[in-house]
Homo-oligomer: A and B are copies of this chain.
Amino acid sequence: MSVKIISKTCTGPVNIAVIKYWGKRDEKLILPINASLSGTLDQQQLRAKTTVAASAGFTKDRMWLNGQEQSLDNPRLQNVLKEIRRRARKRKSGCEDDLDMLTWRVHICSENNFPTAAGLASSAAGLACLVFSLSKLFNVDGDISDIARQGSGSACRSVYGGFVEWEMGKEKDGSDSVARQVASENHWPEMRVLILVVSADKKHVGSTAGMQTSVKTSPLLKHRAEKIVPERMQAMIEAIQKKDFESFADLTMKDSNQFHSVCLDTYPPISYMTDISHKIVRMVHAINAHFKKSVLAYTFDAGPNACLYLLEDHVPLVLGFINHFFPYDVNNEQYIRGLLSEPQKPEQKLLNDIPINPQPVGALQYIIHTKVGPGPQLLEEEHSLLDVSGMPTSLINA
């Protein structure tokens, strides 16, 4: 006789901050020293996919990430599981069958459709997806962003689509440090995103350790968090509500620069951007100078990859510029991935105005073309990553 297994499978999106989160005021609850704001990216191009299953027949909690079993000992994951169960119990909703389910062990299986730890916010997508999946499994309603936050700070912004604010909050227990949708994915449908993957190397300093050191050592970070970000958040929300791309772009670029500025003011200093990252920055400013307004915005997370926000109309020409300054191996059919768009070669005299030398082939690995998209999605059972016995359908033998 087989023991019943209940499971849910969901996908969760990546988000790319335009006002950056850097620094915690509470390490355990993951409470930030300033508010932040991001665009949620479409899951067609980048997503985590997670199946969570519970069964009286499981003997222990287990987790598989990208085909390899991982420990669940991580205190952040434990906090997430505890908090989901606590909330399910509190609501007395239990699961669809039985309150007993809250005592069952869980199996978690998750995979990304993009490389992890490459500065593409994989943990945010993964944790948001996990928390969303668990909330479906245990029938937890309402805002779950604070649970995702405890799994991986910026994951809280990935529980909603469109443009999402992570409120700093004031309470010691973190109850008001939650995500809030500023505008849905339908508000500004022309918004596009190009991710320029510079390198998939491991970071020299992880973001958790990096932001701890910044909080301890950077005299500029405190000033940024207290004085500068509050004003920028307000201006950014207004720019998004008004669909004012120029203000959106300038604020995005200034805030990315200031985040990396604070990393450099950290002791020892942290440098995530590389020479290629800085060449992309110069290209973007040169393109904007040509248009006499900001039509393109860069932002860099804790890694060298550039994320460019722009409107649909400018995609072909911007891809043309990128192809000129960062030429690709013509044998690389996978150079531009995601949404289709034909690069438009810029006129020569326009290129001559831009004082940057084209880089050698290979400076960029590839480009992902995507857009702003919805929050996590519940999938049909047929998409499950776990089989009828609760084991992964595909495993990488280590």
Contacts and interface: CB of A to CB of B under 8 A. Distances in A.
Interface of A: 204, 219-220, 223-224, 227-228, 250, 253-254, 257-258, 260-262, 264-269, 271, 273-275, 278, 281-282, 285
23 contacts: A204-B282, A219-B224, A219-B227, A220-B223, A220-B224, A220-B228, A220-B265, A223-B223, A253-B268, A254-B267, A257-B264, A257-B265, A257-B266, A257-B267, A258-B265, A260-B264, A261-B262, A268-B282, A268-B285, A269-B281, A271-B278, A274-B275, A275-B275
Contacts of A267: 250, 253-254, 257
A282 to B, nearest CB: 7
Contacts of A204: 282
A275 B267 CA distance: 18
Nearest to A276: B275
Please tell me how many copies of the chain the complex holds.
2
Interface centre among A227, A271, A274 (most CB of B within 10 A): A271
A268 B227 CA distance: 21
A23 to B, nearest CB: 15
Contacts of A268: 253, 281-282, 285
Nearest to A279: B271
> Binding site of A, secondary structure by majority: helix, strand, loop or mixed?
helix
Contact of A220 (B250, B261, B266, B282): B261
Nearest to A278: B271
Nearest to A284: B268
Nearest to A285: B268
Report, nearest first, the 4 A-B pairs whose CB atoms are least far apart. A261-B265, A261-B264, A268-B285, A261-B261
A38 to B, nearest CB: 21
A254 B228 CA distance: 22
Nearest to A262: B261
A267 B360 CA distance: 27
Nearest to A356: B204
Contacts of A278: 271
